[in-house]
């Protein structure tokens, strides 16, 4: 999470957040973005307990479970009045990016690794179909409930659960109260007011957002031609749909119904 003088940037995984952070760094170096600027991370000190901490660099991975992907609920009270901005991307594309980056290969303890190996004996050597199952059957259905120390009764896919955790108030109550499926309209009142920038057109989307926030267009027009940053995506196919067959496509579209409800343009 980056807190500026006018807005807060929330980084959802694999949506171009590193590019946004680099742009904001350049704006700070040019004196366009006033100081101070706060960068918040979080870690799980022990199951169910979040520790929010501040650092002046982007990736202070002094511990293996420091996370840059803050939730909106982590926003400090003195900044709750500011605009919240984040990026969006087709969840099918996110899965491909996550798979090829291999960021899902976790620093697991002995108990967690035993659980994974029971479900996926070849871990971490998983093909794409196995990876999709790993995201649902382990990350979503076992690891997240364990880390959050809560029962998750709502049935949805891994990315939709992360989306709910990131952008909704009272997410524990939602996940524990709604059994089965829950549509976006049912929980709309709990969603934070977030401005979403499209990852596919991020240069222009970010430029327009910042210009609307009052930053001088002549000083931020470098964003329009800035090189995009690909920190971990080494995909073999540019077209993410080529990774899916009819079964895996139907499976993910069904599981990730919440994100597709919120962003129907991706259906």
Domain ranges, ordered by start, for the chain: 2-266
Mean pLDDT for each 10-residue chunk of the chain (267 residues)?
90 92 90 73 52 47 54 89 97 95 85 92 96 96 85 93 95 90 95 97 97 96 89 72 97 97 95
- Please choose, from the candidates 231, 219, 225, the residue with its C-alpha nearest in 3D space to the C-alpha of residue 28: 219
Tell me how far apart the alpha carbons of residues 34 and 53 are, in angstroms, rounded to a whole number: 21
Tell me how far apart the alpha carbons of residues 96 and 33 are, in angstroms, rounded to a whole number: 34
pLDDT value at residue 58? 39
pLDDT value at residue 59? 38
CA 191-193-194 angle, 5° bins:
105
What is the third-level CATH fold of 2-266? Rossmann fold (3.40.50)
pLDDT value at residue 53? 52
Q: What is the pTM of this model?
A: 0.89
Tell me how far apart the alpha carbons of residues 134 and 103 are, in angstroms, rounded to a whole number: 13
Long-range contacts of 22-25 (CB under 8 A, 24+ apart): 22/226, 22/229, 23/206, 23/223, 23/226, 25/58
Contact (CB, 8 A) for 30 and 17: no
pLDDT value at residue 88? 98
């Amino acid at each position: 999470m980056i807190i500026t003088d006018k807005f807060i940037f929330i980084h959802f995984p694999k949506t171009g957040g590193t590019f946004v952070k680099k742009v904001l760094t350049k704006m700070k170096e040019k004196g366009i973005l006033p100081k101070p600027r706060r960068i918040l991370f979080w870690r799980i000190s022990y199951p169910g307990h979040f520790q929010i901490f501040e650092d002046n660099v982007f990736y202070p991975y002094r511990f293996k479970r420091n996370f840059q992907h803050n939730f909106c609920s982590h926003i400090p009270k003195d900044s709750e009045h500011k605009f919240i901005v984040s990026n969006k991307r087709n969840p099918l594309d996110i899965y491909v990016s996550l798979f090829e980056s291999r960021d899902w290969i976790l620093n697991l303890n002995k108990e967690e690794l035993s659980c994974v190996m029971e479900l996926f004996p070849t871990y971490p050597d998983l093909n794409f179909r196995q990876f999709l199952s790993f995201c649902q059957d382990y990350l979503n259905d076992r690891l997240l409930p364990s880390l959050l120390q809560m029962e998750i009764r709502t049935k949805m896919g891994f990315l939709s659960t992360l989306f709910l955790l990131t952008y909704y108030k009272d997410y524990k109550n939602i996940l524990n109260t709604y059994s089965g499926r829950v549509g976006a309209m049912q929980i709309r009142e709990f969603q934070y007011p977030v401005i979403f920038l499209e990852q596919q057109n991020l240069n222009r989307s970010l430029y327009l957002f910042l210009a609307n926030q009052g930053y001088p267009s002549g000083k931020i027009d470098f964003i329009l031609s800035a090189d995009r940053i690909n920190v971990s995506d080494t995909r073999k196919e540019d077209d993410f749909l080529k990774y899916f067959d009819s079964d895996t496509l139907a499976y993910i579209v069904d599981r990730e119904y919440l994100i597709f409800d919120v962003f129907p343009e991706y259906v």
